[in-house]
């Protein structure tokens, strides 16, 4: 049967989602494959269909025990023979599954990575015909991923010891270059075909809101969405409790969810939300792993997360049913301090801290850009550019565009003269004409750009420089204490081929229709 026929006959879907067919073709043709798909993008079909097309038993490595059970149950309902091996099984059950696996009874066998090295498993691979090993959450193999698991390192070893090396297909939703390269290297993928696809979510309206009083914003926001189900993410337990309290005072019911609560309390909150007994849940990022509630109409972020992967994963819990939904991020630059602090104080070597710091910069650029937010995200995840979405806070911003080419040239010329040795703050001080001690010590007052923007406040100059970074006229590099240099795009401006236009923002008005 063709892949398409299986999709129709077994799953009952009419067509493939973007990328699915290409990924399946690549695997079935025998190539190692790296597929980068967003959560909810439909990756299970991408290894389940090949498993049905190839002879023998496909192994699926997955770290999420509850997800394994869900998938095996779903496959069984569809009439596909599948089972799992993980720590939730009793000794008896475990043996039973193994025995049947030895008989070649399963088309798919899900295995937790910790099991991969066990001698029993070694035996399995010797006795079974294994055409394909699908590795879910493959970023767990990478130190650069947000969820490194040493057991994933054993995978590569175990696979390389297998007599007939099967096709290896790795799946992840984490798309940064470091992680992708790590996956290929660590899992020893042989000339893999790589697919990045499906990150655009056309039913989501993305917004960034800056410069509001958060409490007032919340009041109005909830008033207009009283009937809707939504998730509100806040950065800390304390913050979650404060927002939760506030919502109660406003007269709404809301659940509370964070790591400081008992398992029972968390389970109850999650269930109440999932089954629509409570419309709103206020949570830290501990909430969400594995929940798949279809009708979440909005995800509101009270604070900016530390990187775009986390943000998009959390925001992406809105609109899983394909209906129009909103993802709103309240951005206040002072919320960045906590992230910087955590990076500084965190474990990990300098290189890792530098990676985290540059992820935080990307996240902030998302908050500051005038470009289409959906495009910004898709671009970040390495997918080919898509059309502007037409519904994000940038696309809907009808505020006046101001020609700021002159100020941009001043900033660029100052940055060029500082020769990549200083950060945004020092560049701002020079433009301001400050008599800061460090500035004077470095003799920066002798630069011709010193004091060029002396009418403007230092804070505004910093904002201006950060905006130029967000729009990719300038770039930051060097990790935790980044220095600023000219980016490729600045050349067009310097050569007079491009003008710099900046919007006066009016985001809040669009989101709060009745506030006028
Ligand atoms: P993830 O990528 O997070 O593992 P899943 O594989 O669980 O996502 O798929 C997410 C949802 O999309 C599931 O409900 C799945 O049945 C559905 N889905 C996957 N492929 C298709 C398709 N081609 N057409 C319609 N629905 C699909
Ligand atoms: Zn847009």
How confident is the model at residue 512, as a pLDDT? 64
How confident is the model at residue 382, as a pLDDT? 82
Which residues, 6+ apart, have CB-to-CB distance to 212 below 8 Å?
330, 508
Q: Which of 292, 315, 320 is nearest to 305 (CA)?
A: 315
Torsion of CA 328, 334, 338, 343, to 10 degrees: 90
pLDDT in tens, 324-347: 999 999 999 889 888 988 888 887
Is the pTM higher than 0.80? The answer reads no
How confident is the model at residue 127, as a pLDDT? 85
Tokens of residue 424, six digits: 């945004």
Ligand closest to CA 204: 2
Ligand closest to CA 199: 1
| Among protein residues, the one whose CA lies closest to atom 23 of ligand 1 | 16
433: region left, alpha or beta (phi > 0 left; psi from -120 to 50 alpha): left
Which residues sit with their C-beta closer than 6 Å to ligand 1?
A: 13, 16-17, 20, 37, 39-45
Q: Which of 91, 18, 9, 21 is nearest to 50 (CA)?
A: 21
With beta carbons less than 8 A apart as the criterion, state whether 132 and 47 touch: yes
Q: Which of 24, 38, 42 to mutate to test the pocket of ligand 1 (most atoms within 8 A of CB)?
A: 42
* Residue 378 to residues 4, 131, 309, 312, 489, Cα–Cα distance (Å): 27, 33, 11, 10, 19
Kindly give the number of the ligand 1 atom that is closest to the alpha carbon of 43: 2
How confident is the model at residue 24, as a pLDDT? 97
Q: Is the ipTM of this complex over 0.95?
A: yes
Cα(159) to ligand 1 centroid in Å equals 28
* Residue 24 to residues 107, 116, 272, Cα–Cα distance (Å): 16, 24, 38
For 177-203, the three-class secondary structure string (H helix, E strand, C coil) is HHHHHHHHHHCCCCCCEEEECCCCCCC
How confident is the model at residue 354, as a pLDDT? 85
Cα(343) to ligand 1 centroid in Å equals 35
Q: What is the pLDDT along the chain (516 residues), one digit of tens a residue?
A: 899 999 999 999 999 988 899 999 999 999 999 999 987 788 999 999 999 999 999 999 998 888 899 999 999 999 999 999 988 999 999 999 989 999 999 999 999 888 776 677 777 788 889 999 999 999 888 877 667 788 888 887 888 777 788 999 999 987 677 888 989 998 999 999 999 988 889 999 999 998 889 999 999 999 999 999 999 999 999 999 999 999 999 999 999 999 999 999 999 999 999 999 999 999 999 888 667 789 999 999 999 999 998 999 899 999 988 899 999 999 998 898 889 888 888 877 888 888 888 889 899 999 989 899 999 999 888 887 789 999 999 999 888 888 999 999 999 999 999 999 999 999 999 999 999 999 999 999 999 999 999 999 999 999 899 999 988 899 998 777 889 999 988 999 999 988 998 887 644 555 665 443
Cα(11) to ligand 1 centroid in Å equals 10
CA distance 262 to 198: 37
Cα(201) to ligand 2 centroid in Å equals 11
| Among protein residues, the one whose CA lies closest to atom 3 of ligand 1 | 40
| Among protein residues, the one whose CA lies closest to atom 12 of ligand 1 | 42
Cα(217) to ligand 2 centroid in Å equals 22
How confident is the model at residue 514, as a pLDDT? 42
Ligand closest to CA 378: 2
Q: How many CB atoms lie within 10 A of CB 364?
A: 21
Kindly state the percentage of the chain with pLDDT values over 70.
96
Cα(165) to ligand 1 centroid in Å equals 28
Whats the size of the chain, residue-wise?
Answer: 516
| Among protein residues, the one whose CA lies closest to atom 15 of ligand 1 | 42
């Amino acid at each position: 049967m063709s892949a398409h026929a299986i999709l129709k006959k077994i799953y009952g879907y009419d067509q493939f989602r973007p990328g699915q067919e290409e990924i399946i073709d690549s695997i079935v043709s025998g190539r190692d494959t790296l597929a980068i798909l967003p959560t909810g993008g439909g990756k299970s079909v991408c290894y389940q269909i090949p498993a049905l097309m190839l002879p023998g038993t496909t192994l699926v490595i997955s770290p999420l025990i509850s997800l394994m059970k869900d998938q095996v149950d779903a496959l069984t309902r569809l009439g596909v023979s599948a089972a799992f091996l993980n720590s939730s099984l009793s000794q008896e059950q475990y043996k039973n599954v193994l025995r049947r696996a030895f008989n070649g009874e399963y088309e798919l066998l899900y295995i937790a990575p910790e099991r991969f090295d066990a001698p029993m498993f070694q035996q399995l691979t010797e006795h079974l015909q294994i055409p394909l090993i699908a590795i879910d959450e493959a970023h767990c193999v990478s130190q650069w991923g947000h969820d490194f698991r040493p057991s994933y390192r054993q995978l590569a070893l175990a696979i390389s010891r297998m007599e007939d090396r099967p096709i290896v297909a790795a799946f992840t939703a984490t798309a940064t270059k470091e992680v992708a390269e790590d996956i290929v290297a660590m899992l020893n993928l042989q000339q893999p075909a790589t697919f990045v696809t499906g990150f655009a979510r056309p039913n989501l309206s993305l917004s960034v809101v800056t410069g509001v009083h958060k409490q007032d914003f919340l009041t109005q926001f909830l008033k207009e969405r009283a009937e809707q189900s939504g998730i509100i993410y806040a950065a800390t337990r304390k913050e979650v409790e404060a927002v939760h309290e506030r919502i109660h005072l406003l007269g709404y019911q809301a659940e509370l969810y964070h790591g400081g609560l008992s398992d029972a309390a968390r389970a109850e909150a999650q269930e109440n939300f999932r089954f629509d007994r409570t419309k709103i849940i206020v949570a830290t990022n501990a909430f969400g792993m594995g929940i798949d509630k279809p009708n979440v109409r909005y995800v509101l972020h009270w604070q900016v997360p530390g990187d775009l992967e986390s943000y998009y994963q959390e925001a992406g819990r809105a609109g899983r049913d394909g209906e129009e939904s909103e993802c709103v991020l309240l951005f206040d630059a002072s919320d960045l301090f906590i992230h910087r602090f955590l990076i500084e104080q965190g474990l990990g070597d300098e290189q890792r801290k530098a990676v985290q710091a540059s992820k935080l910069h990307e996240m902030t650029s998302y908050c500051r850009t005038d470009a289409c937010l959906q495009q910004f995200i898709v671009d970040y995840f390495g997918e080919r550019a898509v059309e502007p979405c037409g519904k994000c806070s940038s696309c809907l911003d009808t505020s006046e565009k101001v020609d700021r080419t002159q100020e941009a040239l001043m900033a660029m010329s100052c940055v060029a003269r500082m020769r990549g040795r200083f950060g945004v703050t020092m560049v701002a001080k020079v433009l301001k004409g400050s008599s800061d001690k460090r500035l004077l010590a470095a003799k920066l007052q002798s630069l011709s750009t010193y004091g060029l923007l002396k009418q403007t406040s230092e804070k505004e100059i910093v904002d201006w420089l950060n905006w130029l970074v967000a729009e990719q006229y300038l770039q930051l590099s060097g990790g935790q204490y980044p220095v600023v240099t000219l980016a490729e795009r600045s050349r067009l401006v310097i050569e007079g081929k491009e003008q710099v236009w900046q919007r006066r923002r009016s985001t809040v008005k669009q989101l709060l229709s009745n506030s006028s």
